Amino acid sequence: MSTTSEQLGKLEQDSSLSDNVRRLVCEVGLQDTDANSEHSDWHLYMTDEGTLQWEAFERVLHQSSSEGSHVSDYQTAVSRLAPVCRAVHAYLSQLSPAERRRKYSPHLTWTGYGQLFEECFDLLSTSDQTDRTLSLLQATAALERALGDVFLMNGTQCPSLLKDLLATRELTEIFGCTAMSCLHIVIGPPSSLNLRNIAWHGFLSPGEVPDMYVSFLLVVVTTLGEQTPFLYEVSHRTPLDLSPQLHQLQKVFPVLQVTDLPILRDVIHRTTFIQPSMMPYWEKALEKFSDQSYGHCLLLLLPQLEHGLRRVFAVVNNCPQRMLTAESSVLYTTFDEILSPTLQDGSTNHMSSELGDSYMEVLLDLLVHPEGPRVRDHASHGELDLTTIPAVLANHVLCVCLAFCVKYASTDTSVLSGTAVHVEQVVQRYKSLFHPTALLVQRVYSCMESMSTWLQVPRPSAGELKGDQPKPSEEVAHNPDTMAMQAVSVVNAALHKVLPSHNPDSTLADLSTPHSWQIYETPMRAWLCEPVKTVYRPRGELEMVSLLRHIMDNSQTASQNIQGTAEQRCELWRNRQLRSRQRENYARMLDRSGSLCQVLKTLT
């Protein structure tokens, strides 16, 4: 067991909420006072159909419509709103599932996620505390997406953060000040209950958030739909398609089977990566994976992966206080800082040296790189269709979590199963798939493949083209070998300037000889297989990589266009549909295609 594992095992922590946050979330609204008891009757705030009466909420919050949706004192607002939330929860608890669906289902379709919100109600009615958090995670993601769709009815650029979206004039004009104030109190900025962020960033232990707040949030969603009927005409954005990224991810880890679940349970109970109070989430995630409920599995694992990494971050950087939720004046310790090269004070973040490049690359690929899946961001902001999360994505995230559990095992890894150890070994050998440099290498391969098919392009024989050959003067001026040699000379000279050790008379010039590309291709592929460091690269290098990717894109486009044109002209030539001038141009193109191919290969 490593030193870090030992230190993680010594951390005694029942809650990840700081004192002030815990007091606001878990205590302020639950204090029984005489003032609260008068607000316990749901008839005061709800219609017979179970939706909210905003006028009554204005009185509760002591707010007038002229004040707008701004809330200045969230502790006071929570203390006033909490008894109402308790009454709403009591009302929901007395409804049968059939009654609840009859009352609420018609008012959920405006979100575009009616099925997901019905699931949230169902999850809230179970006795399993992990289901409460799962309901909150799913509801906040779907609600953020739905509110963004409504914003775009009148707005243009949708804010990327929920707290900024809630503060927009567009939503206030549509839903009204009181409705937006209620959302601000429950899922607003860090000084509010801020339930969305503390859930998604992995700070909540099972049962820590009172059920009444989740119930209230769900009823707010139905009320918005009932009282704003034109919302049913809102246009919903298409969920994000991660198929291109998943095509690459499916090759990384072994496919976990239901028969592997006992092994996985053994691993999660033999690690210090998991805080004991969070264990029910991991158990539930495995259960959801077994049931092929991959969306729920993903929602449960992502916050727990962040929570576990935050614990490691706090240990290796000697800042145990960073395991807790920050106060409103300080930023949370989230994936962004955990994976950053430096801390907020400018000192070195020791996570990279603790984890090593391969583990960092796994995390950066999964969570950070712009062209990767960025699965936590996309899931938490409601950009993924949680009802159709594919098995490959849940499998990948589960394997990443499993690898960290093995890395910080509390026992000798020799006693762990072969599956668990194999997953960790895969991570140890992992090379980035979505870093710009890795994508550049992929583009080079693709460009090489495109140019390797030039010899397969149909063309007339030299004898058939005899009458359409270019004039002798053109043959000399545009001799393929001459042009290729000139291109090679330019590249050699440029290489010699930036790499003095490079010999300008080196075998790179062999590219000008017939069929030489096959000779050059083998060492080039070997060079592309060389490991390239991708963690924390300087900005200048990334700018150069971006330029090279642009060159590769243009080279491949040119290659494909030339091949397409050659095939089309050959077909027209054989059908005798080319005029005399067109036949000459076609012959000239074929004559020069060899030199052009050599130039493109040299650039590659």
The verdict on residue 187 lying in a domain is yes
Of 270, 294, 297, nearest in space to 283 by CA: 297
Least confident interval from 9-13, 271-275, 587-591: 587-591
Q: What is the mean pLDDT of residues 107-130?
A: 95
222 with 262, same domain? no
pLDDT at 499 over 90: no
DSSP tag of 23: I
Q: What's the CA gap between 541 and 538, in Å, rounded?
A: 5
The domain containing residue 414 runs over which residues? 243-428
Q: What's the CA gap between 395 and 256, in Å, rounded?
A: 7
Number of domains in the chain: 3
Cα separations in angstroms, 202 against 185, 239, 313, 342, 544: 20, 24, 14, 22, 37
The verdict on residue 8 lying in a domain is no
Residues contacting residue 562 through CB under 8 Å, at least 6 positions apart:
454, 593, 596
111 with 174, same domain? yes
Cα separations in angstroms, 73 against 55, 66, 141, 191, 603: 20, 17, 26, 9, 63
Least confident interval from 199-203, 398-402, 524-528: 524-528
Mean pLDDT value across the chain: 84
Q: Which residue has the higher pLDDT, 447 or 497?
A: 447
Give the pLDDT confidence score for residue 232 in this predicted structure.
78
Amino acid at 187: I
561 with 505, same domain? yes
215 with 290, same domain? no
DSSP tag of 26: I
273 with 293, same domain? yes
The neighbouring-strand residues paired with 271 are 409
Q: Which residues of 463-484 are buried (b: 16+ CB within 10 A; e: fewer)?
A: eebeebebeeeeeeeeebeebb
The verdict on residue 535 lying in a domain is no
Number of other CB atoms surrounding residue 561 within 10 Å? 10
- Report residue 84 as tokens: 């109402």
pLDDT in tens, 294-311: 999 999 999 999 999 999
Model's pTM, two decimal places? 0.85
Q: What is the mean pLDDT of residues 483-504?
A: 55
Of 121, 133, 19, 37, nearest in space to 82 by CA: 37
274 with 324, same domain? yes
Q: Report the alpha-carbon angle 578-579-583, nearest 5.
A: 65
168 with 296, same domain? no
Q: Which residue has the higher pLDDT, 29 or 531?
A: 29
The verdict on residue 23 lying in a domain is no
State which of 41-55, 443-457, 465-479, 492-506 shows the largest mean pLDDT.
41-55
378 with 479, same domain? no
Of 372, 481, 366, nearest in space to 434 by CA: 372
Last residue of a domain, one of 233, 257, 275: 233
442 with 341, same domain? no
Least confident interval from 363-377, 379-393, 534-548: 534-548
Q: What is the mean pLDDT of residues 116-125?
A: 96
The verdict on residue 199 lying in a domain is yes
pLDDT in tens, 52-77: 999 888 888 875 444 555 677 889 99
470 with 373, same domain? no
pLDDT in tens, 418-455: 888 889 999 999 999 999 998 888 888 888 777 777 76
The verdict on residue 318 lying in a domain is yes
Q: What's the CA gap between 385 and 390, in Å, rounded?
A: 10
